[in-house]
């Protein structure tokens, strides 16, 4: 075995396959053809001298040698990332790169902040990933980005989290709903209402279910929808009520496609957090953007009906 003959390119390809448990998805991520990717993995296995994957049915799994190599690749990738950050820091904050991953709900606020940051620091290369909570947690566990913006920091991961802005959750209904215009609607009056909810595990859904559970109410779940846009259209169509981040419904409220209900306990005040793995050494660019978030944090004012 002569691992000194293995290349960083091969290790990067192997780690992508190990992360996805799929040659096809790894090839798509790395913009390589499947035959090219497979050849690189095969050559790496020959260098190691042992099989790295085994196939059971249609699924592939790491062998013992593959798991050991994957751990080493993670260490190498982390060290190369730190080297990149150190070199960028030597060049100062006006150079370098920034990778952030944000929750889908945050796309209504953070991109605007990012735009201002990029205008102030045009020399920094920025990449932004937008996804749901489950995807962000996977990326966080794999240390794929510099910073993560989400509404509820994970308890199962060792992270640093700092809240930089309020995220009010409001209760919305179609304009024709009988509770529209009713003052101070008690939570118990909502017990028989149908709700349109985000997917299980969503931070918004967890907060909503916790609020109603505290009032002894189990929500009637009419539909589970994986995007805020779809939820808004479903509510506007009269299929139920929903609790959404106030930042996501500004246009619909202005157009009177949706209406706020004056329910007791609403808006629910949550927060946006900037999150990163504990012990991670932030680059100069990431440190600067984190400071920018706090300096230019959005107003915490919730909309009123």
State the Cα torsion 97-282-20-198 to the nearest 10°.
Answer: -100
pLDDT at site 81: 78
List the pLDDT tens digit at each of the 305 positions of the chain.
567 778 889 999 999 999 999 999 999 999 999 999 999 999 999 999 999 999 888 889 999 999 999 999 988 888 887 777 667 665 666 677 899 999 988 888 888 899 999 998 888 889 999 988 889 999 999 999 999 999 888 888 899 999 998 889 999 999 999 999 998 999 999 999 999 998 887 888 888 999 999 999 988 888 888 788 999 999 999 999 999 999 889 999 999 999 999 999 999 998 999 999 999 988 888 999 999 999 888 765 555 55
| Residue 230 · residue 153 · CB < 8 Å | no
Q: What is the pLDDT of residue 97?
A: 84
- CA 239 vs. chain centroid, Å, equals 28
CA separation for the pair 220, 186 (Å, rounded): 16
* pLDDT recorded at residue 88: 65
DSSP string across 43-83: HHHHHHTS--EEEETTEEEE-HHHHHHHHHHHHHHHHHHHH
Alpha-carbon distance 215 to 238, whole Å? 25
**Any idea where the domains of the chain sit in the sequence?**
3-76, 93-165+271-295, 167-269
Q: Report the pLDDT value the prediction gives residue 223, as an integer from 0 to 100.
A: 86
| Separation of alpha carbons 65 and 295, rounded Å | 48
Sign of the Cα pseudo-torsion (219, 225, 227, 230, in order): negative
**How far is residue 205 CA from its own chain's centroid?**
15
Looking at residue 25, its pLDDT comes to 92
Tally helices (H) and strands (E) across the chain. 10, 11
- Of 68, 54, 70, the residue nearest 18 (C-alpha): 70
CATH number of 3-76: 1.10.10.10
Q: Are 93-165+271-295 and 167-269 equal in CATH topology?
A: yes
Angle at 16 between CA 2 and CA 118, to 5 degrees: 120
Sign of CA dihedral 183, 187, 190, 194: positive
Which residues lie closer than 8 Å to 287 by C-beta, 6 or more apart? 93
How many degrees, rounded to 5, is the angle at CA 230 between CA 185 and CA 207?
A: 45
CB proximity list for 173: less than 8 A, separation 6 or greater: 179, 180, 235, 241, 258, 259, 260, 261
Q: Where does 93-165+271-295 sit in CATH, by number?
A: 3.40.190.10
The backbone torsions φ and ψ at residue 219, rounded to the nearest 5 degrees and listed phi first, read: -65, 145
Name which of 196, 161, 191, 166 is nearest 263 in CA terms: 191
pLDDT score for 304: 57
Residue 101 has what pLDDT?
A: 96
CATH architecture of 167-269: 3-Layer(aba) Sandwich (3.40)
């Amino acid at each position: 075995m002569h691992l000194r003959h293995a290349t960083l390119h091969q290790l990067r390809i192997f780690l992508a396959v190990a992360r996805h448990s799929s040659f096809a998805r790894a090839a798509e991520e790395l913009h390589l053809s499947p035959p090219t990717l497979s050849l690189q993995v095969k050559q790496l296995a020959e260098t190691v001298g042992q099989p790295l994957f085994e196939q059971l049915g249609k699924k592939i799994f790491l062998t013992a040698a593959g798991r050991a190599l994957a751990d080493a690749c993670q260490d190498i990738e982390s060290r190369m990332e730190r080297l990149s950050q150190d070199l960028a820091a030597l060049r100062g904050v006006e150079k370098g790169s920034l990778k952030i991953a944000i929750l889908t709900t945050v796309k209504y606020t953070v991109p605007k902040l990012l735009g201002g940051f990029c205008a102030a620091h045009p020399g920094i290369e920025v990449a932004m990933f937008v996804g749901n909570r489950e995807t962000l947690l996977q990326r966080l566990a794999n240390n794929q980005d510099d910073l993560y913006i989400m509404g509820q920091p994970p308890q199962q991961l060792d992270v640093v989290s700092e809240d930089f802005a309020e995220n009010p959750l409001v209760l919305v209904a179609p304009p024709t709903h009988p509770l529209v215009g009713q003052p101070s609607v008690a939570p118990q009056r909502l017990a028989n209402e149908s709700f349109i909810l985000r997917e299980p595990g969503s931070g918004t859904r967890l907060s909503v279910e916790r609020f109603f559970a505290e009032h002894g109410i189990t929500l009637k779940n009419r539909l589970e929808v994986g995007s805020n846009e779809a939820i808004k259209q479903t509510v506007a169509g009269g299929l139920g009520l929903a609790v959404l981040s106030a930042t996501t419904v500004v246009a619909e409220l202005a157009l009177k496609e949706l209406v706020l209900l004056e329910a007791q306990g609403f808006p629910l005040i949550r927060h946006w957090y900037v999150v990163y793995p504990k012990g991670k050494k932030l680059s100069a660019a990431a440190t600067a953007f984190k400071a920018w978030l706090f300096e230019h944090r959005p107003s915490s004012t919730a909309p009123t009906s």
